[in-house]
Amino acid sequence: MRTPQEPSEPTSDQLAQWLSAVAEQRSRAAYRQLFDYFAPRIRAYGLRHLRQEAQAMELVQETLLTVWQKAHLYVAERGSPQTWIFTVMRNQCFDMLRRQMNSREQLVAEDLWPVLEPALDLTAGDPGEQQILSRQLAQYVHLLPAAQQEVVRGVYLQEMTLQELADRLQVPLGTIKSRLRLALEKLREQVGPHHD
């Protein structure tokens, strides 16, 4: 028996129908349903990874505006609506991350979280989908040149600062930053949504 305080979660098919209605009919009602479902999840992700309410809300707005504008690019055969929308969200995180990186000299390990953290940790009800995305991201890291892999793994997995990593590898801090920037660019290209 369903508890009265918990509304039923929309199915993947229902989400796909709403997305299709937005794409084909510019349905504001369907968009509102998508917004109501995804906004709190995107905000929670933003708070965890961007650390500020204002940036979390910017992530919500930018992600869902992109969903409204590009719903026609969603292809059901390539994955669920959740996967597609969370990929859009990650791309917005990448853009915000790049702006942060360009606006300050010091880079810290937290900057990598939006890149490597599987966005689908938000969909706790679907661990299979989360595991698939985690494996995909791991594969993308393997595609990087060895020097960039070393930096990404050192910062993300070993939680080292860039300075600690530079000291350990005996290379200049600027070299570590350059490798990290290149790695982020390549990862962004690999995990970006398909555009038809």
Provide the CATH number for the domain around residue 112.
Answer: 1.10.1740.10
Rounded to whole angstroms, the Cα distance separating 41 from 196 reads: 27
Rounded to whole angstroms, the Cα distance separating 163 from 49 reads: 21
In a domain, 5, yes or no: no
Q: For residue 108, what pLDDT is reported?
A: 45
pTM score > 0.75 for this model?
Answer: no
Q: Which residues of the chain have pLDDT under 50?
A: 1-6, 104-113, 116, 118-127, 129-130, 194-196
User: Which domain covers residue 80, as residue numbers?
Assistant: 12-191
In a domain, 196, yes or no: no
At 24, list the tokens.
């084909």
Q: For residue 109, what pLDDT is reported?
A: 43
In a domain, 92, yes or no: yes
Q: For residue 157, what pLDDT is reported?
A: 61
In a domain, 33, yes or no: yes
The residue written with tokens 């790695």 in the block is 183
State the total domains in the chain: 1
User: pLDDT (tens digit, 9 = 90+) per residue, 127-174?
Assistant: 454 455 555 556 677 788 899 888 877 776 666 778 888 899 999 988
